[in-house]
């Protein structure tokens, strides 16, 4: 497993496509959990989490399920925990869920790249 993270509109998708040529990418907001478990690469993984929460599904199991079922996946996700804490309860729960799931996945990942202004910096290379 490898991850590419960073703020919104920082060039993660373009860098991911360049860094991992030949990967078949799927958008997080358009996929099912079954597709996630079989995907090569996911753009907008944070959007998958948001979609699941909006549909009333739990996401605590996602990290363990991905590690068990799809350990070679490449995940690209926005970091959503920076900035002002949202007033809306759903937005706070979403922010926390993305942080917790991505923290677990980053701990397992072989490589984590943080992207700022289209430039990737390796923050983990195990």
Query: How many Cα atoms are found within 13 Å in the side-chain-facing hemisphere of 62?
Result: 27
Q: By mean pLDDT, which of 12-21, 27-36, 77-86, 102-111 is the weakest?
A: 77-86
Query: How many Cα atoms are found within 13 Å in the side-chain-facing hemisphere of 31?
Result: 21
Contacts of 103 (CB under 8 A, 6+ apart): none
Read off the pLDDT of residues 6-32 as tens digits, 9 standing for 90 and up.
999 999 999 999 999 999 999 999 999
Which pLDDT belongs to residue 84? 85
Which pLDDT belongs to residue 57? 96
CA distances in angstroms from 10 to 79, 109, 117, 126, listed in the order given: 11, 21, 5, 24
Which pLDDT belongs to residue 79? 95
pTM above 0.85, yes or no: yes
CATH 3.30.830.10 corresponds to the domain 2-125:
no
Domain extents for the chain? Answer: 2-125
């Amino acid at each position: 497993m490898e991850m590419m993270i960073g703020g919104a509109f920082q060039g993660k998708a373009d860098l991911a496509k360049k860094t991992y040529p030949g990967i078949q990418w799927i958008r997080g907001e358009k996929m099912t959990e079954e597709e996630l478990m079989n995907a090569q690469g996911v753009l907008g993984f944070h959007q998958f989490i948001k979609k699941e929460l909006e549909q009333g599904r739990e996401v605590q199991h996602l990290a363990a399920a991905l590690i068990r079922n799809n350990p070679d996946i490449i995940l690209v996700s926005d970091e959503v925990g920076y900035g002002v804490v949202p007033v809306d309860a759903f937005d706070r729960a979403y922010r926390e869920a993305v942080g917790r799931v991505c923290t677990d996945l980053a701990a397992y990942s072989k490589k984590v790249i943080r992207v700022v202004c289209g430039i990737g910096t390796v923050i983990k290379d195990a």
